[in-house]
Structure 1
Amino acid sequence: MLCEIGVECFVQQYVDTRPGPLAQDYLCGGLAYDRHDGTDIRVPTLADMERGVPVVAAAPGTVRAVRDGEPDMDPARRGLDRIKGRESGNAVLIDHLGGWTTQYSHLKQGSVLVRPGQRVGAGQILGLIGQSGLAEFPHVEFRLFHGDQRIDPFTGLPPESGCDKPGRALWDAEAAQALVYRAGGLLAAGFAGSNPEIGAIKAGAYLGNDRLPASAAALAFWVIDYGLEPGDSWRLEIHGPDGRLFAESDGKLDRKQADWIRVLGRRRGDRPWPSGRYEARHRVARNGVVLIDRARAVVVE
């Protein structure tokens, strides 16, 4: 991936290391789902996907197979029957020395740049992050095989080996540093001058709103988090130009949230919003330890 992990793109899901419904990633955390055998690296919104984020080969090898032409679309909208047999969407499969194989799935429609039989080098661009196939958010799924055996690249072990095992990660030093484990976090946050729609938030329609008119129908702060767990406590607050509390909301999660979207704000009454700088803050804590603590600001004029 030609993006900064933890800033521009994020590891949303790891390989499931625990057979059965209680999925666990390689460090016994909750960033996995039942029988998932890949590593999902995502961008926050569809707008980020449209800007184009290159997916590169992990090592030199020979392209075995490719697929392109599958649309980037929420599978619920397209219909699961039309995805059957093409769940990986647009994809590239590469054979490497020593019986290793890598697969790069859910690439953007029309972005695949390689062909079967082509030799590729480490770091060569294969395509772009997309949302093709059975993909609920824009990402690439990286899968690793040794022969017919699926392998977790963070441990070098088969998925069913269990979590927190003394395996050996297969990344080089630079990749390992970039892919340091994050137990969840903030994907994106911002402001809107109307009541934000969930679909528009996922599309990135409200990104970059650092100024709003005093006549805006609403003043709303939105966040997208990932990897939240039951028991995580959260808080959103907005302070107005005078420093007083403008709006607040808090609570505790009762279930796992791979993606979590929350909106806080107020509708405008008969008068314009007071002009000035509005500051918002979002916090999430897990077992008393802060997981997210981010601030954003917007100027009303």
Structure 2
Amino acid sequence: MKPASTSAARSGVPIPRAGRPSLTARLQDWLPRLVLAPSVAITLFFVYGFMLWTFILSLTSSRMLPSYEFVGFAQYARLMTNDRWWVASTNLVIFGGLFVTICLVIGVVLAILLDQRIRQEGVLRTLYLYPMALSFIVTGVVWKWLLNPGLGIQAMVRGWGFEEFRFDWLVNPDMAIYTLVIAAVWQASGFVMALFLAGLRGIDDSILKAAQLDGASLPRVYWRVVIPCLRPVVFSAVMILSHIAIKSFDLVVALTGGGPGYASDLPATFMYAHAFTRAQIGLGSASAMLMLGGVLAILVPYLYSELRNRRHG
């Protein structure tokens, strides 16, 4: 029997040389890179390029228009002595802490209840998830109506005859920040519930049955076995909610406008007010870079943990 190479050569079919890929193979290797190249270039320019430009502006004396007269970290020093910035930072700690904690608690409780295979689970799950389909602008406007002392909950309860009832948090400088917490929790807790429900459905039932056979009650099973298994879900939920809290802008504008005064300001509204309405681009850029630092302080440990788990996994 003749070798295949000899037959192919006599038939006139070209034989590809070993170690040298064909033109088609080269195109197949380069095609994904060519397709992704425009997106990568646009991302590098419009995202990371403008981040770099913002950092450069934060080192200048820019006011209404960009000015490249470098002043070092003087804008950051001004920021540290600005009372409104410290109010916004304190509000972020209050808002972010309460928002993340309450969403986690409500999300876990709702997920555990739905995990009991109750009737109309699909309907309830849709109802809980529906607020996440709305924009924060819509959420802010609706809750502004509800919390308005002359139109909303306070007016309704007083109309029932409880004339002494007061729920004027929206116009109270000491309580306005908590109205943001109420609206944000209402919108995001259903999303957290979906994350935990997906995590619960991914746990092997044999683990739960083994714990119940050992005599553990259902609450103890969830507390000792199920919730520790959901640590990756908890970590992911904290990352997402913290990111939402740091960049919150539209909810504040729609619900409180940063008021009364600037009592409910957050860093995002502070940055907008100084960079675009007060002609202090340098100071606004400095506050934007500190916000970016807050996001990175959350994302970097998360990415490090993910990469470490993959290496050891």
| Superposition TM-score tier, normalisation by shorter sequence | under 0.3
Please tell me whether Structure 1 or Structure 2 has the larger radius of gyration of its CA atoms.
Answer: 2
TM-score, structure 2 as length reference: 0.23
Give the structure, 1 or 2, with the largest relative contact order (CA under 8 Å, sep 6 or more). Answer: 2
Normalised to the residue count of structure 1, the TM-score between the two structures is 0.23
Q: Name the one with the larger strand percent.
A: 1
Answer 1 or 2: which has greater helix percent.
2
